[in-house]
Amino acid sequence: MKRKLDHSDGPSERLAVEVLGWLAADEDRLFRFIAASGLEPGTLRESMHDPGFLGAVLDHVMSDEPSLLACAEALEVKPERIASAWQRLQPPPFDEGG
């Protein structure tokens, strides 16, 4: 089940696409992401327009500090910028109607 965001955050989404490019530049990194996400390799390109997917890309990088630091260095951004984009692309919590 996909959860869509209530808003669009262009700068965060663009950074997430850059992070995805960083993942894709190394076959092992990309394979680990695909395995962790459960996606099929053929669905990556179409998923790039889904803010929920882009949040998952950042979630994957944020889950491993060495990857976060290597990605930030490669993209020439501060790790905090990736963390900030990750927070903005998180889906809203489920409303249990309570």
Q: What is the pLDDT of residue 95?
A: 62
Tokens of 35: 């395995």
Q: For the purposes of burial, counting CB atoms within 10 Å of the CB of 89, is it exposed (0-12), middle (13-18) or buried (19 or more)?
A: buried
Please tell me the total number of residues recorded for the chain in this structure.
Answer: 98
pLDDT tens across the length of the chain (98 residues): 344 444 567 999 999 999 999 999 999 999 999 999 888 888 888 888 888 899 999 999 999 999 999 999 999 999 999 999 999 998 777 666 65
Q: What is the pLDDT of residue 3?
A: 44
Return the amino acid letter for 95. Answer: D
Rounded to an integer, what distance in angstroms lies between the CA atom of residue 9 and that of residue 20? 16
Tokens of 61: 């990088």
Rounded to an integer, what distance in angstroms lies between the CA atom of residue 71 and that of residue 8? 23
Q: What is the pLDDT of residue 2?
A: 44
Contact by Cβ (8 Å): 33, 23: yes
Look-up: residue for tokens 């680990």? 32
